Amino acid sequence: MVNVQPLDSEPRRGEGTQQVDHPTSQVAVFGADKPLRLDSGVDLTPFQIAYQTYGALNAARSNAVLVCHALTGDQHVANVHPVTKKSGWWETLIGPGKPIDTDRYFVICPNVVGGCMGTTGPASINPKTGNPWGLEFPVITVRDMVRAQAMLLDHLAIDTLFACVGGSMGGMQVLQWAASFPERVFAALPIACATRHSAQNIAFHEVGRQAIMADPEWRGGRYFLEGTNPRRGLAVARMGAHITYLSDAALHRKFGRKFQDRENPSFSFDADFEVESYLRHQGSSFVDRFDANSYLYLTRAMDYFDLAADAGGVLAHAFKGTQTRFCVISFTSDWLFPTSESRAVVHALNASGARVSFAEIVTDKGHDAFLLEEPEMFAIVRGFLGGAGKARGLPQNLAGKAKN
């Protein structure tokens, strides 16, 4: 009963969310016989997953790499984004001859459940009402995202992933994959993430949610129906979150105390400093491509994430008996998911007897480093996948292809 056509009811939504039910992507639709059983106990049905693929699946179906996106990312990891017209968010890492080499691997990147780029989320049409779900959409978890991705793999007849890769919320999904479906993940690459959200992480997210819900145009989440748009609340949420993605040093290097288009203070509330005008731009451009309710749902999913709690309070139990090989990467100046969080993963994996390598990369770029041109990260990803590929029996020696 699975087909690849989008739901055909016509959504009523504002700008920036035209991709919700009819994305510029492949779509897998799961009908009433394939509900997504959520952690909340609710069955989400019908639902669809939008995804992009790159490269070709080999005959043994053994070269699939699942890429999991971060909070505000989406499936357009290695192609021009249909809304922003910008390059894919990991196009430096993924492509022919690149560290995640699409000449060797079949890369799949799905939009997460709760997202707004084609996978079912709060902006999607609720078939029971014909209106966007809004806050009637069930609260989802990282485990729900992963469960949905496993259904996508079934749909694609891929039994085992060669590798599962992601940063930030994407890294949480990688860890959840390794915990929920260890036999389906040959190699796992969680980057710049943690096994749980700290109180400070939750606090920052809560401020963002309150900014959205404080916007009168949010209308209890019914803004599509009421013809409003909580742009300002969402922009403030994005601005605040954006600070946490950068290090103090990176902000200083980029902006310092430089004035914007002037030499002296304006003695006004204009964006005097470059960093102010940069943040305002981050806020206002974000709202053109993201749904405010999706932001609420996905931040909530990250806050709820707690792999140890799910394993009876002992993180190592989450990975008990795992055969997956792991490569954990963190960045020295990442204060959102500091290295100590990655070390905790490594210690738990050690305690589980798992194969694990760990790299802490020295950079002043903060959490965002995982999205940036980081040659050391590129080399580690390439090397780890190469070694794992050998162990997996994937063909080696694609001479003359390496570009990074």
Active site includes 168? yes
Choice among 168, 294, 333, 342 that is catalytic: 168
Q: How far is the CB of 114 from a copy of itself (least distance, A)?
A: 12
Around Cβ 267, how many Cβ atoms within 10 Å?
A: 7
- Does 66 interact with a copy of itself (rule: CB under 8 A)? no
Least distance (Å) between residue 379 CB and a copy of itself: 30
Task: By CB under 8 A, tell whether 255 contacts a copy of itself.
Answer: yes
The catalytic residue among 144, 272, 367, 368 is: 367
Least separation in angstroms between residue 287's CB and a copy of itself is 11
Interatomic CA distance for residues 346 and 365, integer angstroms: 23
Tell me the residue ranges of DSSP E strands in 31-80: 36-37, 43-44, 47-54, 64-68
Q: Does 198 help bind a copy of itself (rule: CB under 8 A)?
A: yes
Interface segment toward a copy of itself; rule CB under 8 A; list 149-157, 163-171, 191-199, 377-385: 191-199
Q: Which amino acid is at 20?
A: V
Least distance in angstroms from the C-beta of 50 to a copy of itself: 24
Among residues 36, 54, 55, which one has the least CA distance to residue 44?
36
Does position 251 bind a copy of itself by CB under 8 A?
Answer: yes
Q: Is 364 in the site for a copy of itself (CB under 8 A)?
A: no
Beta bridge partners of 53: 108
Q: Name which of 117, 112, 95, 90 is nearest 192 in CA terms.
A: 90
User: Taken in order 275, 172, 126, 119, is the CA torsion positive or negative?
Assistant: positive
309-348 positions binding a copy of itself, by CB under 8 A:
309, 335
Shortest spacing between CB 268 and a copy of itself, in angstroms: 6
Q: Could you give the angle at the alpha carbon of 304 between the alpha carbons of 318 and 52, nearest 5°?
A: 80
What lies within 8 Å, CB to CB, of 43 at 6+ separation is 35, 36, 37
Options 6, 23, 122, 233; binder of a copy of itself; rule CB under 8 A: 233
Q: Choose, by CB under 8 A, the member of 196, 289, 325, 367 that binds a copy of itself.
A: 196
CB atoms inside a 10 Å sphere around CB 125: 21
Q: Which of 34, 39, 225, 392 binds a copy of itself (CB under 8 A)?
A: 39
Alpha helices in 121-273 (DSSP H): 142-155, 169-180, 199-214, 223-226, 231-245, 248-254
Torsion of CA 168, 372, 76, 291, to 10 degrees: 60
Q: Applying CB under 8 A, what is the total number of residues that bind a copy of itself?
A: 56
Q: Does 73 bind a copy of itself (CB under 8 A)?
A: no
> What is the identity of the amino acid at 121?
G
167 burial (CB, 10 Å; 0-12 / 13-18 / 19+) is: buried
Rounded to the nearest whole angstrom, what is the least distance from the CB of residue 195 to a copy of itself in the complex? 11
For a copy of itself, the binding residue among 77, 191, 239, 356 (CB under 8 A) is 239
Minimum distance from residue 264 beta carbon to a copy of itself (Å): 10
Q: Which of 333, 334, 342, 352 is catalytic?
A: 334
Question: In the complex with a copy of itself, which residue's Cβ is closer, 306 or 376?
Answer: 306
Interface map 103-142 toward a copy of itself (x if CB under 8 A)? --------------------------------x--xx---
Please state, in angstroms and as integers, the Cα–Cα distance from residue 136 to each residue in 125, 130, 303, 306, 402, following that order.
11, 13, 19, 24, 48
Using the rule CB under 8 A, which residue among 32, 59, 157, 199 binds a copy of itself? 199
Residue 367 among the catalytic residues: yes
Cβ proximity to a copy of itself, 154 vs 276, nearer residue: 276
User: Residue 131: beta bridge partners?
Assistant: 126
CA distances from 374 to 128, 131, 188, 348, 402 (A): 47, 43, 19, 27, 16
Contacts of 311 (CB under 8 A, 6+ apart): 179, 317, 318, 320
Stretch that binds a copy of itself, among 83-91, 126-134, 268-276, 391-399 (CB under 8 A): 268-276
CB of 31 to a copy of itself, least distance (A): 24
Q: Catalogue the active-site residues.
A: 168, 334, 367
Q: By the criterion CB under 8 A, which residues form the site for a copy of itself?
A: 39-40, 135, 138-139, 196-200, 202-204, 206-207, 209-211, 213-216, 232-233, 235-236, 239-240, 243, 246, 248, 251-252, 254-257, 265, 267-269, 271-273, 275-276, 279-280, 283, 296, 300, 303-304, 306, 309, 335
